[in-house]
Amino acid sequence: MIQADGLVKIYKTKETEVLALQGLDLTVNTGELTAIIGNSGSGKSTFLNMIGGLDKPSAGALWVAGKNLFTMTEHELIGYKRDTVGFVWQNNGRNLLPFLSALENVMLPMSLSSQKQKREKALQLLEMVGMSHKKNSRMNMLSGGEQQRIAIAIALANSPKLLLADEPTGSVDFKTADYIFDVFTELNKNGQTILIVTHDMALSKKVKRVVAIRDGKISSERVLKEAYTDRLRESGIDWRHEDTQEEFAVLDRAGRVQIPQELMETLNLSDNKVKILTRDGDIIIQNPNKEEK
């Protein structure tokens, strides 16, 4: 579904250039639910916006659902944004019209031809996000969490191949975040490919695959342990504290790997050189000034 190779994004301002993405590689398969985590400013939104066709890469290659984002014409891009990807933001204000009902909001972006078809599909989507009982409510009568669920239904209005969400639970309370997250999990169970940026560690621990961006590159990946894959809806699990995932550093095609920040200090380096040794088939990264015993 997504293939990013050596993706680079440079933002030019009057005084300086910002390297927001620095050779990012990522492959996402159809049917996957993937979360992206990373510090503020690490390039998460830049990457998501690029996949959403809202921004163009400076270099590298980006393919989504068989389409090359780099060579797409403006006209093709309009079709792509309407049919291939759906987008949910942290603040749903940009998707919702306050004076229309929930149902009307969901029908609005649909490219289906008849009103009847639109209505049927919209009702189906409202059902999916657990909001059919509020279909006639105006947006300004709904809570933040409810509005966010409507925003998800809107993003799905044209059955996109890929659903993108940038901090969709960023402005709701913990319980609501959990509920919204369950909506994504449920959609994914029904085959929807989803990519979510989140700051919420507890939520990210429920995801089968979490990729971490550091300085514009994927640095590590966490994968849900087999023992937890069938327990996502269980209420007895303390997701915040249990060790549900296994962590891996990501090795790129040039053989580069980032040493986790916590381990950098263990190395206690005084300059930028390390020794790489092998022992019993393992590779060891060592401070060159360390005395070999």
- Site residues (vs ligand ATP, CB under 6 A): 11, 13, 18, 20, 38, 40-46
Considering only residues 1, 6, 38, 45, which one is a binding residue for Mg ion as defined by CB under 5 A?
Answer: 45
Q: Is 34 in the site for Mg ion (CB under 5 A)?
A: no
**Taking CB within 5 to 8 Å according to partner kind, which of ligand ATP, Mg ion, none is near residue 13?**
ligand ATP
Residue 48's contacts (CB-CB under 8 Å, 6 or more residues apart) are 36, 164, 166, 195, 197
Question: Looking at beta carbons only, is 46 or 192 nearer to ligand ATP?
Answer: 46
**Taking CB within 5 to 8 Å according to partner kind, which of Mg ion, ligand ATP, none is near residue 46?**
ligand ATP
- Please give the helix or strand (H or E) that residue 272 lies within, else none: none
d(CA 242, CA 219): 22
d(CA 208, CA 145): 24
Contact in structure between 211 and 25 (CB atoms under 8 Å): no
d(CA 196, CA 163): 8
Sort 168 into a burial class: Cβ within 10 Å, 0-12 / 13-18 / 19+: buried
Provide the minimum distance between the beta carbon of 188 and ligand ATP in the complex, in angstroms, as a whole number: 22
Provide the minimum distance between the beta carbon of 48 and Mg ion in the complex, in angstroms, as a whole number: 8
Provide the minimum distance between the beta carbon of 51 and ligand ATP in the complex, in angstroms, as a whole number: 12
Provide the minimum distance between the beta carbon of 258 and ligand ATP in the complex, in angstroms, as a whole number: 16
Which residue is at the shortest CB distance from Mg ion? 45
